[in-house]
């Protein structure tokens, strides 16, 4: 146990590449991450950064032609990369649950939502048949589905996006997981529903001491929810720290650029900056720092050397070769 608390998950030097006909896509390229017990780690970055592939690597659901090449994923002191498929299935069913952006992809349109949640409970909990319906009602109430007794007899298409997301969370919770991986869980929902789902996840963390890996491209969600933040870009972790530090003292130019691109209520929106350029194709990632082609502070060295992720003060790590220079310097691309 460290002073900061016990770790539930530690990822070290994880590499997940896709061996496509066009070449090797280095989607996740040597990342380190940690999630504390009962904590929320926010994994943030633009679309195409490798966040989903990271999540799929943890539960070992990377599909062909993807392959985990390197590293370890220590979960409750067991290396998940050494588990066979049967053991992984057990872990996925009982200790790690995942919820996705699109709940319809997980719900079967043919069965009622009640039957589907009941099935999840039957698989994971040892309770008599006669009590399963009541458990479904209980869990529906816990995730805020009103009129639970009636609604469990309905099919998924009768549910709104927000309600479907709740059904999926109910299924994910039915096995009392130690780790919940939520990949853009609120991305397609309107703001009010989004807040309700986020509050629900906060409640889950509080009531069940569940650790959560919360994946999003939305820094607002991170600010509200996360204890720690990992900023991912083009298959690499660029910055890692606790949430207060990331927002008050961001050190990586990519983190700074991300923060400047978030609309704020207290700042005129015309000053909003967009990060120039796009996330590179990971088939041929740039040499050196992967952010260097878009970075306002790039120098020759950045295009040659890959910056290691270095802990520059307790609990705050940054992967930037020029991090000590840029505070005194305006970025070339800044206007």
Residue 282 makes contact with ligand ADP by CB under 6 A = yes
- DSSP assignment of 241-284 equals EEHHHHHHS--SHHHHHHHHTS--TTS-GGG----SS-PPPTTS
- Give the full edge-to-edge strand order of the sheet including 7-20: 23-36, 7-20, 66-75, 78-79
d(C-alpha 66, C-alpha 17), whole Å: 6
Segment near ligand ADP (CB under 6 A); pick from 30-38, 40-48, 148-156, 285-293: 40-48
Among 39, 41, 42, 50, the residue binding ligand ADP under the rule CB under 6 A is 50
d(C-alpha 150, C-alpha 113), whole Å: 11
Nearest Cα to 234, choosing from 200, 274, 270, 285?
Answer: 285
The gap from C-alpha 12 to its chain's centroid, in whole angstroms, comes to 16
Alpha helix ranges (H) inside the chain: 51-58, 85-94, 113-124, 129-142, 148-151, 161-173, 191-208, 219-225, 243-248, 253-260
d(C-alpha 234, C-alpha 248), whole Å: 24
Cβ of residue 156: shortest distance to Mg ion, in angstroms? 22
Which of ligand ADP, Mg ion, none does 50 bind, CB closer than 5 to 8 A by kind? ligand ADP
Residue 315 makes contact with ligand ADP by CB under 6 A = no
Q: Which residues bind Mg ion (CB under 5 A)?
A: 51-52
Whichever of 171 and 230 has its CB closer to ligand ADP, that residue is 230
Residue 53 makes contact with ligand ADP by CB under 6 A = yes
Whichever of 20 and 334 has its CB closer to ligand ADP, that residue is 20
Among 66, 103, 250, 253, the residue binding ligand ADP under the rule CB under 6 A is 66
Residue 33 makes contact with ligand ADP by CB under 6 A = no
Segment near ligand ADP (CB under 6 A); pick from 49-57, 121-129, 143-151, 327-335: 49-57
d(C-alpha 15, C-alpha 28), whole Å: 5
Give the largest Cα separation in the chain, rounded. 69
The contact pattern for ligand ADP, residues 230-269, with x = CB under 6 A and - = no contact, is: ----------------------------------------
Which of ligand ADP, Mg ion, none does 45 bind, CB closer than 5 to 8 A by kind? ligand ADP
Cβ of residue 217: shortest distance to Mg ion, in angstroms? 8
**Site of interaction with ligand ADP (CB under 6 A):** 18, 20, 25, 27, 45, 47-53, 66, 282
């Amino acid at each position: 146990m460290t002073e900061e608390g016990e770790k539930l998950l530690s990822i070290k030097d994880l590499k997940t590449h896709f061996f496509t006909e066009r070449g090797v896509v280095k989607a996740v390229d040597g990342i380190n991450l940690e999630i504390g017990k009962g904590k929320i780690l926010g994994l943030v970055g633009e679309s195409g950064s490798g966040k989903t592939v990271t999540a799929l690597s943890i539960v070992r659901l990377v599909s062909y032609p993807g392959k985990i090449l390197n590293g370890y994923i220590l979960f409750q002191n067991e290396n998940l990369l050494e588990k066979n498929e049967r053991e992984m299935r057990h872990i996925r069913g009982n200790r790690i649950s995942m919820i996705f952006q699109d709940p319809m992809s997980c719900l079967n349109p043919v069965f009622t939502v009640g039957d589907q949640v009941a099935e999840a409970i039957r698989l994971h909990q040892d309770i008599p048949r006669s009590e399963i319906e009541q458990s479904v009602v209980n869990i529906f109430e816990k995730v805020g589905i009103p009129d639970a007794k009636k609604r469990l007899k309905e099919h998924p298409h009768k549910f709104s996006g927000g309600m479907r997301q709740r059904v999926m969370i109910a299924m994910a919770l039915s096995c009392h997981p130690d780790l919940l991986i939520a990949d853009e869980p609120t991305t397609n929902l309107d703001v009010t529903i989004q807040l309700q789902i986020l509050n629900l996840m906060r409640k889950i963390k509080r009531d069940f001491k569940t650790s959560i890996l919360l994946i999003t491209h939305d820094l607002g969600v991170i600010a509200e929810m996360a204890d720690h933040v990992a900023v991912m870009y083009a298959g690499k972790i660029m910055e890692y720290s606790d949430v207060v530090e990331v927002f008050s003292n961001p050190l990586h130019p990519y983190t700074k650029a991300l923060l400047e691109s978030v609309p704020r209520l207290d700042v005129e929106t015309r000053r909003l900056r967009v990060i120039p350029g796009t996330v590179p194709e990971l088939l041929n990632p740039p040499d050196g720092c992967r952010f260097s082609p878009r970075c306002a502070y790039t120098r020759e060295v950045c295009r040659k050397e890959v910056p290691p992720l270095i802990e520059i003060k307790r609990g705050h790590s940054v992967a930037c070769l020029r991090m000590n220079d840029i505070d005194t310097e305006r970025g070339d691309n800044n206007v």
